[in-house]
Amino acid sequence: MEIRDNTGHPRRWAILGVLVISLLVVVLDNTILNVALRTLADPVHGLGASQGELEWAINSYTLVFAGLLFTFGVLGDRAGRKRFLLIGLVLFGLSSLLSAYAQSPAQLIGARALMGIGGAAIMPVTLSIISNVFDPRERGRAIGVWAGAVGLAVAIGPVLGGALLERYWWGSVFLINVPVVALGVILVALLVPESRDPNPGRVDVFGVVLSVVGLVALTYGIIDGGEHGFGRPVVWAAIVGGVAVLAWFVAVERRSDHPSLDVRLFKVPQFAAPVAIVGLIFFAAMGVLFFSSFYLQLVRGYSPLETGLLFLPFAGAQLIFAPRSAAMVRRYGGKAVAAVGLALTVVSLGAFAFVDAQTPIWIVLVFYFIQGVGMANIMPPATESIMSALPREKAGVGSAVSNTIRQVGGALGVAVLGSVLSAVYRSDVGSALTGLPAGARDTANESISGAYAVAGQLGPAAPKLLAAANDSFVTAMHWAAALSALVAALGIVVALRWLPGRATTSVREVTTAEPELAGTA
């Protein structure tokens, strides 16, 4: 067999290190703010933010980030990926500075939205650049390192946030981004080569507008429904309207001779199956991580820093196993590796249906570790399958689709599983709230956090309310965990049925067999 020369960039591993630094700061920001919410609500030590303002401080970032990911991936392919990465880093750093010194909740919400624009410019081009600087034979390993960095950032965000809040003011959780971004800008300028689609064709302006409007509307409906319930007309108007606009987007792309996304790619299992798996697994996993923070901090009584440290087994598993997943794929095939990873994730998520307030914490840590091992063996083969289905010059499309599905799936998971959690909690805790004043009863009935706030004013009656709230929350957690495991189990079905094994059919091969797809993949 002829041994081909390595077509990767001579500095590819140094470039990967720079991209990991750029990626860490974006993903960290998705998780680091959670531990600062109580401080931000304090009128003395924070901004005196209301519950709604705190929710939008998180969701203004997520909404803009998810809505622009796809568009910025496409535009990065055209305008230059290095250029987009530098612009995104600078905007992210400046908006982090604005967030750190915000004087009101409204200013913080606006600055966080600007951070979402910067993050959306950074995230898709990191994966695109990896596809362009690495030889296909090394790309799987590089994507494994990239995926491990995502898992690490998700886990260390609460640790870093808790450590900063114990020593400094709330703005430090944003200010920490600035020196990292400055270092990233310097290293990107020095090391990362420019790359773009050499034959970009015309800009599909109408399709780009439809994708932004549809994704923003859908994500807004999901987030707002998760916070305030899905029984209000405005929520369903946003969700149905978003889905309708995205359906219009698909129809436009099918007819266009210069589509921003060739929707016929979804006929190719190597592209469509891993996209579905990414959406399902992030739906399930992010929902569980959401209620885990409440379980550890309220039911178990751990501090924000201690809670962050308890997520380290998840991060450790990602760091250990994600970079090794490429070797597993070469040996056993992507289908087998992803199916085993999905099975481990199902086991770990389902295990939370049996966790209660007395479960030894080391058992909970084992579940986090198993989840980390499972996801470390899902994301790299899924991402590699998506990226290898496209030629290098179209890498931004694959990266943008993968990241958009992940963000929307995660937001949907938090919203849906959060709604299940709230509904079961409210139905279970109601009988324990009789006798409380109306305002206190409503607050305690809303969430376990509300029950803890009310208990602080009850004196000797507080332990009884806290015990009832904890029991109700654990019951609700069991239902949410069971649902998350069922959703993740659907991923196993998709992997076994449609994910290619060792011998795969790429879009390049399909374009040879099907002339009507040629030139659009």
Q: What is the 3-state secondary structure (H, E, C) of 222-290?
A: HHHHHHHCCCCHHHHHHHHHHHHHHHHHHHHHHHCCCCCCCHHHHHCHHHHHHHHHHHHHHHHHHHHHH
Q: What is the pLDDT of residue 515?
A: 33
Q: Who's near 320: CB < 8 A, 6+ residues apart?
A: 376
pLDDT of 506 > 50? The answer is: no
C-alpha distances out from residue 45 to 34, 40, 115, 161, Å: 16, 7, 23, 16
Q: What is the pLDDT of residue 361?
A: 95
Q: 392: pLDDT confidence band, cut at 50, 70 and 90?
A: low
pLDDT of 338 > 60? The answer is: yes
Q: What is the pLDDT of residue 64?
A: 81
Q: Residue 98: which of 178, 164, 180 has the closest Cα? A: 178
Q: What is the pLDDT of residue 396?
A: 61
Q: What is the pLDDT of residue 512?
A: 37
Count other C-beta atoms under 10 Å from residue 34's C-beta.
22
Query: For residue range 270-304, what is the model confidence (pLDDT) as tens digits?
Result: 888 898 998 899 888 877 877 787 788 788 988 77
User: Which residue has better confidence, 330 or 223?
Assistant: 330
Tokens of 121: 């410019």
Q: What is the pLDDT of residue 170?
A: 85
Q: What is the pLDDT of residue 508?
A: 45
Query: For residue range 297-323, what is the model confidence (pLDDT) as tens digits?
Result: 788 988 777 877 888 888 788 878 877
User: Which residue has better confidence, 453 or 365?
Assistant: 365
Q: What is the pLDDT of residue 516?
A: 32
pLDDT of 388 > 90? The answer is: no
Q: What is the pLDDT of residue 185?
A: 92
Q: 70: pLDDT confidence band, cut at 50, 70 and 90?
A: confident
pLDDT of 365 > 60? The answer is: yes
pLDDT of 367 > 90? The answer is: yes
Q: 366: pLDDT confidence band, cut at 50, 70 and 90?
A: very high
From the number of C-beta atoms within 10 Å of its C-beta (0-12, 13-18, 19+), residue 519 rates as exposed
Q: What is the mean pLDDT of residues 443-453?
A: 76
Side chain identity at 205, as an amino acid letter? V
Residue-level length of the chain = 521
Query: For residue range 153-181, what is the model confidence (pLDDT) as tens digits?
Result: 766 777 788 788 878 888 888 888 888 89
pTM of the shown model: 0.76
Q: What is the pLDDT of residue 331?
A: 86
Query: Taken in order 362, 302, 165, 178, is the CA torsion positive or negative?
Result: positive
Q: What is the pLDDT of residue 186?
A: 92
Q: What is the pLDDT of residue 513?
A: 36
Count other C-beta atoms under 10 Å from residue 205's C-beta.
9
Percent of the chain with pLDDT over 70: 88
**How far is it, in rounded angstroms, from Cα 48 to Cα 72?**
35
**How far is it, in rounded angstroms, from Cα 68 to Cα 60?**
12
Best-predicted range by mean pLDDT (16-25, 57-66, 447-456)? 16-25
Tokens of 173: 């959780």
pLDDT of 480 > 50? The answer is: yes
Reduced to 3 states, what is the DSSP secondary structure of residue 3? Answer: coil
